[in-house]
Every structure is written in structure tokens, then in C-alpha cells.
Structure 1
Amino acid sequence: MKYNFRKQIWLLLLASATLVSCNDFIDRLPENSVEASTVDYTNLTDMYKPVSGVYAVANLKLSFWGELGLMVVRGDDANKGSNPNDQIEFQYCKEFKYDKIQSYWALNSSWEGLYNIVSTANAALNSLDKYGENAKTDADKNKLAKYSAEIRFLRGYAFYRITQLWGAAPLLIDNQQLNLTKSSKEDVHKFIQSEMDFCVSNLPDERPNQNVNPGAVTKYSALMLKAKLALLDGDYNLVLSTTDQIINSNKFNLYSDFYQLFKIPGKLSNESLFELQFTDFGTASGQSVTSDAWFAFQGPRSGTGFIQGWGFMTPSQSIRDFLTARNDSVRAKTTFMYTNAYTPSGDWINPGQPGEPDCYNGKAYTPSSQMTPGRTDYGMNNNIRVFRYADVLLMNAEAKVRLGQNGDSPLNLVRQRAKLSSLTNATVDQILDERRAEFAMEWGDRFYDLLRTGKLPAGAEYYPIPQNQIDLNPNLK
């Protein structure tokens, strides 16, 4: 790892210079921003600053704990967790009682945060256009296209999250647009797919960990987002073609140790297509880049020392029984962190108070032995995994089977990593079961698999648009 170079990139993120214009979608200007009048657009050495600004905002907003809860809790793999009365709105989400959450502050904050990414990206693209007026050489023009693609990926991913949560929503692509009406989910998806085509053409043909800015998105991040959208839309030909491109690149492979994949050794592994990046710079105190309590939100209430948190989003009895019945011990060891027991890494988790969970999400756990000495925040210095190669393989397997082909090869690569025997002539249901086991507690993947396969009650699909946003813009009613 080129640590000093990466530290320079992180400092650039912290001191990013990006412009955001005010409208109803933005809660506030991002920290470390400057007004456009102070920017010298003839200085092309600063052309990456708007890009780093979007990354900084995206890392924070995409790691908002409230949004994670809204995405995860509706699946049959997760319970609300924590104290029974704490953030009771998550329980209403679990029970699809959406009429009780339209004024829930976390629902509104999730909306604001995602549109904050969108509006920051829009402003950054405007800044790049101004730099572009001074880009004369082919090298500078190629950089401009690459930087624009990075921003457009992050904006597209924010829109993807928006449609996951709300379905139809405003397609804000210019910060001067006010009082927008909702675009259909299908139209927003079409827009994202078009944007990802631009990204595929202009982003590096590399893994994110090969990038000159390690962890920045690449061509394969964009192909992955195309595949995820196509999977939700039931376009299995597109799922197959995009995942085939990723697989046939021969650039990715599964990290050998599933348990360590989610811990410090697994940061930016060859399995990663997109991660939210955080760092403490390897120092005992001082400057750091941290998530919006994403780790603490899921940490054990009954923990000790550095291994403790708020106790939300806990594995359900259903997912525990499911993995047990499959003899899926590798994934169980990783996904379940039980109380009144030591973790495989040697941290003791105390039993909780009556009514508190007895099991927490092990995928959000960073062992104390892997933390930088002197740092005490749960999950400090770890990244958040978003897109994994395992998902590429299982999407590819499912698309093949749905299109009348054999999906055993990609499926069995994932099963072998989990120390499970290979399957022959696998069915769609077997692949869906594999997805349930592999992605338990990750980004609500289980809920969205249930949604796209028609296994949810009517009206469970999307959250209501926050009442605060309807009050600001009655067109959203």
C-alpha cells in the first residue's frame, strides 16, 4: 500500500473545494466547501478537487445509520434490535406500517442526504465544465472525462438508492430545477443506465484497488451498478452481459477468508468493486475520516471496551435457523456475533439486559486487535463494503439459469469459499437461497430479492415520501 500517497488523497478529500447551490433538497452546504468565485478554473492541477468533494459527501451520506436501518430492517434476515422502545419507527418499517413513519426524522434525513449527494454532484459537474474550458491537451480532456465519470457514478448510485427506498422520485440533474415532480422508477433507472454507459467508456479498466487513487470507482463499478439495476428490473440479458464482462476481465476473485473479508485485512481486496472508505491515518489520535455512525449503530449494546455500540439491526432467528439448517458455519461465524461469548477474534461480548438482543451483526465488527492503538471508536479505520464480486457471480448464475443456461460454475465458486459442496444443475431457488446466506445483513439485499420475486405483501415495496418534503414541494404529494 502506498500509504503516503493515499494520505495525500485523504487530505484532499478533507479539504475538498466543491460548490453546492441551495434548494429544497439540501439540508446544508457540505463542510470544507468554498464559493465558486474563489476557484481559479485555469489551474487544472486543481481539477480533481470537485471530484474529491463528491466522494467526501457521498462517504458520509451513504453511511448514514438511519438510511441503513431503513434498507435492512424490512428483510426477514434482520430485526430492529436495541432497546424495544428505541427508534420504534424501525419496527413499524419491519411491519410495513408506513403510515406511521411519514414524519420520521430519519426518513427525511435519508432523503436529504441522498439528494445532497445528487446536488453536490451536479455542482461539481458544473465546476468541471468550467475547468474544461481551459483543457487544451488530449491528456487534460481525458482526465476531464474520467473525473466527470467518477462524479456521474456517485450521482447515479445515489439515484439508485433513492429508487430503492421510494420508487418514483424527482430526477434532479440541474440544481436550478425547483418544485420538481416525480419521475417514474423506470425513467430514473433508464437515466442511471445511460449514465453508467458513459462511465464504462471513461473510467479506468482496473479494479478499484489498482486505481491511482486507490478505492476510486472504475469501469467495473459502473458495470456492477448496471447489473444491479437490471436485476431489479428483470432484464436478465443485461444482467448476464454486464456480469460476463466483469468475470471475463479476470481482474476479480473472491477473498479467501470470508470472516476477514469484512475486517481490516479485507479492505479494498480483489473482491471489491465499490467501498465507502474511511481512515484514521494509522495514528493514535487526531485527524480521521469516519462514517456517520454506521458501525456504532450495529455494535453490541452489551459489549466491553471498544467493542460496543447501539445494538440495532440484529440477525433474526429466521436467518440464524436458515444458516444452521444448511450447515453454513463459515457464514454463520462471520454474520452472527453472540453475547455471553468470545468472538473468533477473542473479544468478549457480555450478555445484555432483559429484552436486549443476544446476537449482533458480525459483518459490522472490527476486532479490537485490528484497531489502531489509541483509537476507541467501534469500527474505526474500517471500510464499508458495498459492491462485492460474490454478487457478480451470483447474479451471473441466476441470469444464466433464468435464460435456460447452466449457472453452476459461478454459483459453486461462491459456495466453495463458504466450504459448501458444489451443486449440479442448480435452480433459481437454490441461487436465491445462496444469495440469502451470502448477503445476510448487507444493504437490504434480502428485502430487494423478496421484492423482485414477488414475495412481499402489497404496499410493502416503497416508503412514503417524507412529509417534510411534501410540505416543501406539494408536487411530491
Structure 2
Amino acid sequence: MKIKNIYKGIILATTLISGMWMSGCKKGTLDGIKPTGTPTTTNFWKTADDAQQAANGLYDLQSNDEDLYGRGFFWFINASDDMVVGRTSADRENIKNFVCTGNEQSIYAPWSAHFEVMKRANDVIANVPGISMDQATKNFILGQAYFIHATMHLEIADLYGSATQGAPVQNRANPLAFPLQLPSVKDNYAYIIADLKKAAALLPYLNQLATTDYGRAHKTAAWAYLAKAYLHAKDYSNAEKYADSVILSGKHALLPNYADVFKIANNYSSEYIWSVASSQYGESILPGAMLENKGWGLYNGFGYYQPTKELVDEFEPGDKRLAATILKKGDTFQYFGQTYTYPIGGVSNSLTGYQFNKYMEPFSYAGGIHVSTNGNEPSTDLNVPLLRYAEVILIKAEAEIMQGKSGDAEINMIRQRAGLTPVSGATMVNLKHERRVELAGEWSDRNFDLVRWGDAQAAYAKPLHGSDGSVVWPARNFVPARDNVWPIPPNDIQISQGQLKQNAGW
């Protein structure tokens, strides 16, 4: 079934901590994901329908919780040099400036959501094998659970794990135990890789799914995340291997026109790997979060993430991706069925004088037929990409370059579509440039790219500018020994009674 219908499947067995949040008790996220008991073990996990409902529950928070793939999790990406906080908000400004504490709701809410989704996945992994049901359906459900757990775990590992202290993970053999940090983030990556291999073995290809199941996990998505996990673990030969698994599968191809990637009609195109399955009735609000604050009086945009001049200047002359990515002064665009010049009426409340254009297509239609009628929850019919085929190609290029091989063929595939001349003897300088302009404003996480390359300190020591050249964000003091990872929410450290340790320096 289509993901927009999956949300109806959220059940007691997969909402184990939400009631605790509402109760007013002093419970931490990780403490709360212990099983609650009777409703799960006595009344549930009996039938194939129970298993399917639990599988449905894996997707709800990923699409319906604005603190995950709506806007909350994006604050960590906003820390990069590509964008600034577009509206006054102490919490978000503290994150941007690396002076946060971990108590901020904008940190705690995404942290909480990740662990809730992982708990739901672990419930499926623990209980579905014992249900008598069709084996193929069982395998598909288990494959989804391993995949979803792995993608959530990878994001937590990237944000909170270091070489000297890994990120927390629930013990599947003893789910009553408090989740503890692994010794190193390398152990997190090994765990994630093992889950993704299980997922890949169990999942069908996308084209083997009924169209009503589009939006669920599939085989090449598992391979793509394996490539990404191996890249982050600096195992470049395996990163190349699994990127090749996707590329050589014959299931994917770049769309000829870059701008078409971000159109509703292409939600499940050949470039699709994994996205936030969205609709105007709910799910990701990122398009509305990036829209001009108050949307020039026509819609309630939030105006949160505003591109910098540094990002705009990164595009080469003639790069077709610039117009598809950024709205700048004088550009024409469609908005609610009319053609306008940016900014509408010559007035903008953008701090930088720019706006991201990637997610604007849903707002182009007359009558707002593809956007939520509730401007306070500005979701759209556009699936927001989390990992797409172009990134898989760039993962392979990076893995090749880091092994001393040529990444020219892959980089030039990306450049050719952008209308640019090919490069020869590409280095990491070329790779970093292509990742930045190809994936700008996406979930690929520019901040984490800078961290893993060792470039964050130098990049953030420079101020950020608006379109008129003025400084819109001062230089920041990024200390790699501390700021390469984020602070673990102190509330959960307190609740753990010393079992969780804060990341160094926070």
C-alpha cells in the first residue's frame, strides 16, 4: 500500500514510549524504550495482520514527525556553511554556533524519534519470526525492519559516535537492558552494516513491489546505504563494491534534467533510492520550512533554512543546477499558478536574499492542489529525497579517489547532466565540489561531510554572507575534539544513572 495509507497502521505495540512522554513522569528517551509488557507480549504479535501493522508502524515517525524529517533533524545540517537560521530562534542559533547543551528541544526531539523508530524495528525483529505466516511476506517485513533500524542507527552514529566513544544502541538479546554506548563508532558502523546485509538479502527490488508498496524499503536502497555506511567507516573498497551493486543492478539511472528530480511526477523515478514518502495530508514539512516566511501572504512558509552567498558562489558558470537549487534576485518562478519574479513584489524577509528552490514545485500549481491546506503543517505531495542515485555515484567516485583510483567517469556523469565540461585526474577537491553543488539543501548532510573530511574547523572560521556581500553570520569557533559530534541530551544521561557518558568536551 502507498505510504500515505500506512500511517493508519500505528499500533500499541509500536508506540511504547510516546505515552511516557505525555505522562509527565521523569523518563528519558532511552529509558522509555524498554518494553511496556502486557499489550505487546499478551495481546499482540499473534497474526500476520499484527506483523503487517507493526511493519506499517516503522514508517510513521519518519514521515509524520516534523522533528525527524520535517524540520527538526535538519538543524544539524543547517550548521554547515551552506545556509543560516532564517528566523530568530535561540535553540537553533545555539546549534548553528556549536554552543548548544543537548537540552534544546531541537536536539532532544530528533534524538528521541530515532530511538523510538529503532525500538519499533527491534520489536519486529524479535517477534515476527515466531508468527505463522507466508514466508515471503515475513521476509519482506523483517527486511524492512533491519533496513529502517540501520538507517536510523547510521544517522545517530554519524551525529554522536566518535573513535573513542560510540553511540548508544539497544541490546537485542536483552531488550530490558538500558541501551549503552558501543566502544567506538566503528562498532556502530559494523552493527549497521550487518543489519543492512540482512536487509538486502531479505528485500525485493523496487520493481518487484506493487506500486501501492512504493515507499517501503527495497534491495538497492539497502545496498546504497551499505555503500554510505562503508564510506563513513572509511572502508573504501567496500563502499565502492556496494555502490557498484546499485549501479550495475540496472535498476537506476540519472534523469536527463536535474530539475526534474524534484518534481512530484518523479517521486519514484529511476533516480529514486530512498525518500520521505510525503503527501499534502501530512509527512515531511521541509518544503514549507524552506519557503519564504509567510510565503508573501499566499502560504505560511517558515523561512528557516536560507542559502548563503558561499553556496551560490560554489556553482560554476553555466551549471544548470544553480537555477534548480537557488532562487536569487530577478529569477522567475511559478507560485500558485502565477509567474513571479523573485522576490515577489521586490520584498523578501530572507536574511541572505536567497531561497532554496529545490522543493518549490509543489507550490507552483494553481489552487494549491499539491500542498497542505493547513499552513501550520506545510507538507506537500513531493517526496523529499534522503539518498538518491546521484549520491551513490558520488560515493563510488569518492571511494575510488581515496583508494588512488580514478573517479573521473563517475564525476563526469554528474557534471555532464549539469551542462559542464568533463574533468581529468579528479581529486578530492573536485569530489567535494560536486557533492556540495549536487546535494545542496538535501539530507546528505553537508556538515557531516565537512567533519569527516576534516574541513569543518577551517570552513567555519569564516563568516557567511548574503547576496549583497554583507556578513549575515559571524565566524564560528569549531573545536574538532568536541564539535565533531553533538552533545548527548543530559536528561538521558541523568536518567541512565551514569550508564551513558557525555561526549568529550560537552
After TM superposition, the score normalised by the length of structure 2 is: 0.80
CA gap of 1:209–1:93, structure 2 versus 1, over 3 A, is farther
1:372 to 348, 369, 373: 369
Q: Which residue of 2 aligns with 1:283?
A: none
Aligned to 1:273: 273
Q: Which residue of 1 aligns with 2:179?
A: 180
Q: Give the 3 Å change call, closer, same or farther, for CA 267–354 of structure 1 in structure 2.
A: closer
Question: In 1, are the aligned partners of 2:362 and 2:380 still within 8 Å (CA)?
Answer: no
Q: Which residue of 1 aligns with 2:317?
A: 327
Q: 1:472 aligns with which of 473, 490, 495?
A: 495
Q: 1:335, 1:362 within 8 Å by CA — same for their partners in 2?
A: yes
AA at the equivalent of 1:77: D
Q: Indicate if the aligned counterparts of 1:89 and 1:101 stay in contact, CA closer than 8 A.
A: no
AA aligned to 2:301 is G
Listed as ranges, the matches of 1:5-404 within 5 Å are 6=2, 10-17=4-11, 19-20=13-14, 21-22=16-17, 24-25=28-29, 35-36=39-40, 43-45=47-49, 47-61=51-65, 62-70=68-76, 72-82=77-87, 86-97=88-99, 100-131=100-131, 134-135=132-133, 140-167=134-161, 168-174=166-172, 176-183=175-182, 184-206=184-206, 213-280=213-280, 288-291=281-284, 293-301=285-293, 303-323=295-315, 326-338=316-328, 342-343=332-333, 346-347=339-340, 349-350=343-344, 351-352=346-347, 356-370=351-365, 371-372=368-369, 375-376=372-373, 377=375, 378-404=378-404
Give the SS at the match of 1:304: helix
Tell me if structure 2 keeps the 8 A contact 1:208–1:217.
Answer: no
Cα distance between partner residues in 2 of 1:113 and 1:120: 11
CA contact (8 A) 2:371 2:379 kept: no
Number of the residue aligned with 2:23: none
- SS of the residue corresponding to residue 476 of structure 1 reads coil
Aligned partner of residue 386 in structure 2, secondary structure? strand
CA distance in 2, matches of 1:27, 1:63: 23
SS of residue matched to 1:160: helix
Change (3 A) 1:442 1:208: farther
Change (3 A) 1:368 1:105: closer
3-state SS of paired residue (1:364) = coil
Structure 2: stretches of 5+ with no match in the other structure: 18-26, 458-479, 502-506
Range with greater deviation from structure 2 (10-19 or 258-267): 10-19
Distance 2:351 2:63 in 1: 30
Structure 1 distance, partners of 2:214, 2:414, is: 25
Distance (whole Å) between structure 2 residues aligned to residue 354 and residue 277 of structure 1 = 30
Q: Quick check: 294-303 or 368-377, which moved more?
A: 368-377
Give the aligned residue type for 1:322: E
Residues 352-361 or 245-254, more deviating: 352-361
Shift in alpha-carbon separation, 1:328–1:437, aligned structure 2, 3 A: farther
CA deviation profile, 1:124-174 (whole Å, cap 9, x unmatched): 33341342xx23xxxx22321221011111111111111122113211144
1:398, distance to aligned residue in structure 2 (A): 2.0
Counterparts of 1:364 and 1:28, CA distance in 2:
35
Are the equivalent residues in 1 in contact too, given 2:362–2:370 (CA < 8 A)? no
Deviations 1:349-404 (A, max 9, x none): 43556773421222232343344278534452211111111011111122222223
Cα-to-partner distance string for 1:179-201 (whole Å, 9 max, x where unaligned):
33311311111100001111111
Equivalent AA in structure 1 for residue 246 of structure 2 = I
Rounded to whole Å, the distance in 2 between the matches of 1:209 and 1:318 is 42
How much does 1:237 deviate? 0.2
Q: What is the DSSP-based 3-state SS (H/G/I as helix, E as strand, rest coil) of the residue aligned with 2:275?
A: strand
Q: In 2 relative to 1, CA 389–182 (structure 1 residues): closer, same or farther, beyond 3 Å?
A: same
Distance apart, 1:420 and its partner CA: 1.0
Quick check: 1:237–1:399 contact (8 Å CA) kept in 2? yes
Q: TM-score, normalised by structure 1?
A: 0.85
Contact 2:273 2:389 survives alignment (8 Å): yes
Moved more, 415-424 or 206-215: 206-215
**Any gaps of 5 or more consecutive residues in structure 1?**
281-287
Conserved? CA contact 2:82–2:441, under 8 Å: yes
- Asked whether the equivalents of residues 298 and 311 of structure 1 are also in contact (C-alpha less than 8 Å), the reply is yes
Q: % of aligned pairs identical?
A: 22
Whole-angstrom CA distance in 2 between matches of 1:68 and 1:250 = 32
SS across alignment from 1:273 = strand
Preserved CA contact (<8 Å) 2:259 2:324:
yes
Classify the secondary structure of the residue corresponding to 1:151.
helix
Contact residue 347 and residue 367 of structure 1 kept, 8 A:
no
Partners in 2 of 1:54 and 1:416 — Cα distance? 38
Cα drift, residue 339 of structure 1: 5.9
Q: Offset of 1:219 from its aligned partner?
A: 1.2
Does 234-243 or 393-402 show the bigger shift? 393-402
| 1:472 Cα deviation from its structure 2 partner | 1.6
Residues 35 and 340 of structure 1, relative CA distance in 2, 3 Å threshold = farther
Give the distance between the partners of 2:30 and 2:369, measured in 1 at CA: 35
Once the two structures are superposed, residues 432-462 of structure 1 have per-residue CA deviations (whole angstroms, 9 ceiling, x without a partner) of: 2111110112125322221122112322211
> Any conservation in 1 of the 2:200–2:220 contact (CA below 8 Å)?
yes
- What is the CA–CA distance in structure 2 between the aligned matches of 1:306 and 1:355, rounded to whole Å? 16
CA RMSD across the alignment = 2.8
In structure 2, do the counterparts of structure 1 residues 344 and 399 end up closer, same or farther at CA, with 3 Å as the change threshold? farther
Amino acid at match of 2:387: F
Per the alignment, in what secondary structure is the counterpart of residue 176 of structure 1? coil
Matches of 2:247 and 2:405, distance apart in 1: 16
